[in-house]
Chains A and B, each alone.
Chain A
Amino acid sequence: MENYHRVKELFQTAIDLSGEARAVFLAEACAGDTTLLMAVERLLAASDEAESFIEEPAFNLADNFITQKDTAAEPVEGSFIGHYRVIREIAHGGMGAVYLAMRADDQYKKRVAIKVIRGGANNDYLRRRFLSERQILASLDHPYIAKLLDGGTTEDGSPYLVMDYIEGEAIDEYCDNHKLSTAERLQLFRQVCAAVHYAHQNLVIHRDLKPGNILVTADGTPRLLDFGIAKLLNPELAGQTLDMTAGPLGPMTPEYASPEQVRGESLTTSSDIYSLGVVLYELLTGHRPYKFGSRVPHVIAQIICEQEPERPSTVINRIETNPYGISDTDITISPEIVSRTREGQIEKLRRRLRGDLDNIVLMAMRKEPQRRYASVEQFAEDLRRHLYGLPCIARKATLSYRTSKFIKRNKVAVAAGVLIALSLIGGVITTLWEAHNASLQKAKAEQRFNDVRALANAFMFDIHDKIETLPGSTPARQLLVNKALQYLDKLAREAGGDTTLQRELATAYMKVGDIQGNPVVANLGDMNGALASYQKALQIRQALPTASAHQLDAEIELANNYDRVGDMVLIDHDLNATTENYQQALAIRERLAAQQPNNTQVRFDLSLSYSNLGDVLSEDGKPQAALEQYSKARTMREPLLAQEPLNATYRRSIAILYQRIATNMYYLGDKAGAIATSRQSLVKMEALAKDYPQNAKAQREVAFAYNNLGDLLWYNDDLKDAMENYQIGLRMREALLQTDPTNMQAQRDVAISYGNYGYTLAQKGDEKGLELYRRSVEITEGLLTVNPDMANAMRDVAVTYSYFGEVYGLLAARKELPVAKRLAYYEQALAYNERSIKIWVEMRDRGILKSRDRNTADKITASLAAYHSEMEKLKK
């Protein structure tokens, strides 16, 4: 609402400006608010398209519609369309007319129906299309299908189609007029299925099945009209967003359109199954599955895509007035009326529908094509089984059926749920690929190509993103993304020149990298794998052409990609490579920020570059320079947060920034400042976690903040306060690990907390510290076996060993202990320190030693002298 007025205001100013001036004005006025900018631009575009829209008063339009018959040069009785002589007009509407006609030279006087399409601006295109497609349609030869006999264009250029003339009633009317029982309706419907299945086998999809297209002749035979004609006449049908006022459905009732159809996606045989499901629903219940309160297309689309239809056995209890949403008519559907033309009594009808038929109808009408019957034949077979009292395939929707709703309801079991869903969908994909490789039909292959792509993207974006922040979802995420990657990789090889697909693929690689080892999200600890994935993504992006419609997005993604590579090589402590990648990202973002100074996304991304460079400098032992970069980042972020105080990303990024500032202040020797800054960060983190209690990342970061504050207090010799903070952090981290036990990040977090807490206990002379620290050592060693060559894992072990040695040393110093025990502790202290030294040396030899660790081994070696002398004293 507020937005409406803002958009209107900008629109009205912008409409008077042109070209450059308009662009400049909008960029400034929207101040980087891309949603607002897009809304205004969309309406400006609509304004151009809508030039003549509603300029002609409504009354005149209605007038034209009614009088069209008189003014247009329409064929009249006795005139010819092609070789056919018109007998009379059967029907007409805004888009043309249908005539009863007879072939002029036909001695059998076979009657035909001719559809003449009016108002087609692209008749040439239609004509060409006719030639290629008509053949396929004309080859459909089935007793229940009205045959397409011929086609062409009239003298004034309007395309026409010639088909069998069918005298009959629409199937719903036929059933009601003849008071067919449920069983009889099912038998008749199965005949319809047979015809549709035949067409599907011939690779023709109807696309517009509804009672009006299924006639029943006087002898009770169904005849299907208009097979595949929707596509023939409107090839744009597939792949375009449905526009119900101007599009294929026109002003007709969209009751029978499938979700994929109203979304404008490409159609498969499954769409026909859906439409048949709706027809059966109506035949069995007399009700329609959806009530559209509005004729606004997107409202209708939303209902079709989201609303679950009521079960047939319960919908019959409803009393509905004006069920088709039309005023001026007073049709009422009641249980009595519905049962009168069916089973006689409502209770009988209810029993008849409950169970199998509920399940069968709703299975055919499922929102996701892959969850419907696999074929019309299977649908018909299930009806047969029901009629013969055999068990049916159709069941109520299972738990995995509605993934998103399921995830919302049941967070704990989510990983398992996704795996179930995956295995189901995976099966479908395999089938699709087999079909693809068999290279059935080009059109069909394309269709499937798109299906697979859509599915892979659903894995990657919809499902993955929904479960990403849930604890315990790491293995499920890995499986999801791997699968998606597999399919996209195959697809990308097939369609090398498709840049959108290449970008999707790059995004897929990025996500795989995240799951393998992005340190800021739950990951599997495969740092090398992550780096390889990020680099692969980067290669794909670098190869993309620079001029594209999505240039800004592509540049933003490219910069992000450089960052990820930088992140990984930073963990590896390759500081030069890190700086190089971060600088690449910085260059892109500085350029974008100069071009679009008001784009918040661009500004925020630029602040990321500054803080990233700060991180490298901090790692490189240059805290002063690091603080300068962090300060730049802070100067950029704080105004963004002031603009959007509830923006979680801004809130989080500032809290993290404070952590880093605190650490580097400490490096510079400002202990009090560091502690104060760290406390500020903790307050921000806790507030955020409180606002997002389900977000594992937010919880993890609070534990992180507690631990960091503990560290600074510890360095400041405030052991009591340090221990308190360590303990809180440990408790939080253990809880998090429990929810996601394979998450290495969580394991490492717990190890660090055990270590800190245990060491501080030992400092206070508490032997419990030894056991706690041992847990830390065990976990850290375990992590190293997974990543034997990673600098960070090695460093973790080296640090842990030397501190564990110190823990032994601290306890060995307790004079109240027996001498033998103290000596044994000193032995352990020496042993762990020596192990640590060995690792530091190995790291130096491998060239993976961080700069601030350069002297660590020497320091440790020097510290050992004290242990030796203490031991000498004790031995005496």
Chain B
Amino acid sequence: MSSTSKNVTQLLADWGGGDKQALEHLMPLVYQELHRLADYYLRRERQGHTLQATALINEAYLKIIDQRSVNWQNRAHFFGVAAQMMRRILVDHARSHLYAKRGGGAQKLTLDEALALPQQERDVDLVALDDALKTLEAMDAQQSRIIELRFFGGLTIEETAEVLSLSPATVKREWHWAKAWLYNEIKK
């Protein structure tokens, strides 16, 4: 067991016990690990292989948490933090990608997005989404947690409900609303 692992486990327990500062120390550590993992997977050629965000977080979890000394609640907390970190990683990734498109570099003839046909729904502008999510956060914090866990953390409705200690029906209702709100906000 590495010192990081011990550290993270302790911080998680402290945070679960009500120590708010523990979260501040915890986040960079989780971020580091997730970023490393995500980077590895995003760059790797993986023909026909799809990695789930949850799998990634699980992998990170296994790596940096000492399984024997955490309870279920700590795990839920971890998923909450991890989803938030995933959001940051993916949005940053999207931002740097935006930059790459604008800057010339080696690409002389850039495939111009202005030429693009209306995008498929699955192509989400993560940066715009992130901004809209910040607006939502200010009005309805729970909403943004649900989006983080579902969209950035890759959790199912049931898993999200578990992490947030809500009923799956409530999460579903809230999820529908949050989707509509964000979709409307981004399209506006």
Contact = CB atoms under 8 A, between A and B. Distances in A.
Given A58-B87, A58-B151, A67-B45, A208 B114 contact: yes
Interface stretch (A23-31, A166-174, A820-828): A166-174
Interface string A33-77: 000000000111011011011101111111110110011000000
A249 B186 contact: no
A63 B122 contact: no
A108 to B, nearest CB: 21
B93 interface: yes
Contacts of B123: 61, 94, 246
B108 A234 contact: no
Contacts of A56: 122
Given A59-B90, A94-B123, A170 B114 contact: no
A253 B147 contact: no
A514 to B, nearest CB: 34
Interface in B106-144: 107-132, 135, 139-140
Interface stretch (B9-17, B63-71, B73-81, B97-105): B97-105
A212 B112 contact: yes
Given A56-B122, A250-B116, A296-B131, A95 B111 contact: yes
A297 interface: yes
B23 interface: no
B45 to A, nearest CB: 6
Interface string A361-385: 0000000000000000000000000
Given A243-B187, A295-B131, A328-B96, A93 B124 contact: no
Nearest to A208: B114
A91 B128 contact: no
Contacts, number: 256
Interface string B153-188: 110000000000000000001001101111111111
B61 interface: no
Contacts of A295: 125, 127-128, 130-131
A250 B112 CA distance: 9
A415 interface: no
For A96, A98, A326, which residue has the most chain B Cβ atoms within 10 angstroms?
A326
A250 B180 contact: no
B183 A49 contact: yes
B98 A326 contact: yes
A94 B124 contact: no
A867 interface: no
A244 B102 CA distance: 16
B53 interface: yes
Contact of B90 (A12, A58, A168): A58
Nearest to A59: B53
Interface stretch (A115-123, A307-315, A568-576): A115-123
Contacts of B56: 59
A12 B128 contact: no
A229 B187 contact: no
Contacts of A170: 104
Nearest to B55: A59
Contacts of A62: 42, 90, 93-94, 126
Contacts of B104: 169-170, 173, 212
A520 interface: no
Contacts of A207: 114
A233 B99 contact: no
Interface residues of B, number: 75
Given A98-B111, A167-B108, A46 B180 contact: yes
Given A59-B152, A95-B117, A166 B108 contact: yes
Interface in A285-308: 294-299
B95 A326 contact: yes
A93 B116 CA distance: 10
Contact of A91 (B96, B111, B139): B111
Interface string A95-116: 1111000000000000001010
A43 B116 contact: no
Interface string B15-45: 0000000000000000000000010011101
Given A95-B119, A328-B95, A329-B96, A57 B52 contact: yes
B50 A63 contact: yes
A249 B118 CA distance: 10
A12 B140 CA distance: 15
B5 to A, nearest CB: 23
Nearest to B38: A59
A263 B86 CA distance: 33
A15 interface: yes
Nearest to A8: B177
B116 A95 contact: yes
Contacts of A788: none
A490 B129 CA distance: 45
Nearest to B96: A328
A62 B147 CA distance: 17
A403 B126 CA distance: 38
A95 B113 contact: yes
B108 A59 contact: no
Nearest to B53: A59
B156 to A, nearest CB: 10
A783 to B, nearest CB: 52
Contacts of A299: 131
Contacts of B112: 208, 212-213, 226, 252
A248 interface: yes
Nearest to B127: A295
B51 interface: yes
A327 to B, nearest CB: 6
B47 interface: yes
Nearest to B47: A70
Contacts of B94: 62, 251
A54 B150 CA distance: 9
B59 interface: no
B185 A296 contact: yes
Contacts of B188: 296-298
29 contacts: A12-B173, A12-B176, A46-B184, A58-B86, A58-B154, A60-B53, A61-B124, A62-B94, A62-B126, A70-B47, A90-B107, A91-B108, A91-B109, A94-B123, A95-B117, A96-B111, A98-B111, A173-B104, A207-B114, A226-B115, A230-B114, A233-B116, A249-B113, A251-B125, A294-B131, A295-B125, A295-B127, A297-B187, A328-B96
A-B pairs with lowest CB-CB distance, top 6: A250-B113, A59-B53, A50-B183, A57-B154, A47-B180, A46-B184
